[in-house]
Amino acid sequence: MDYITYADLDEKERLLVDKAFEAVNHSEAPLGHKIGLVIFCENSQIFQSATNIRSRAIGSTCAESIAVDQMFYYGNKHPKLVVNGIISES
């Protein structure tokens, strides 16, 4: 695995990283880490989501499953790039 920095990214890749961390800011996870996710599809559509943890597991949501569900709902079957942002509060 190669490690790259934000400065190594092109403009489109930076935009996706920024959107992933924008989604992180919408994540609700009072007792854990916050996750934001962006999927960029071959047709240039972007799907963005965030994890929201509630006190009951049945009411919680996962950023990855939300974004993938949206992607499929809107007829996209070919993700080109997935960017995941994580902030640990612990």
Residue 5 lies in a domain: no
Residue 56 lies in a domain: yes
Residue 71 lies in a domain: yes
Domain count, the chain: 1
* pLDDT over 90 at 18, yes or no: yes
Q: What is the pTM of this model?
A: 0.77
- Mean pLDDT (the chain) is 84
Query: Residue 79 — pLDDT band, cuts 50, 70, 90?
Result: confident
Domain hosting residue 65, numbered range: 24-87
Looking up residue 73, the CATH number of its domain turns out to be 3.40.140.10
DSSP assignment string, 22-78: HHHTT-B-TTS-EEEEEEEETTS-EEEEE-B--SSGGG-B-HHHHHHHHHHHTT---
Q: What is the pLDDT of residues 33-70, one digit of tens each?
A: 888 889 999 888 999 988 887 766 666 678 888 888 88
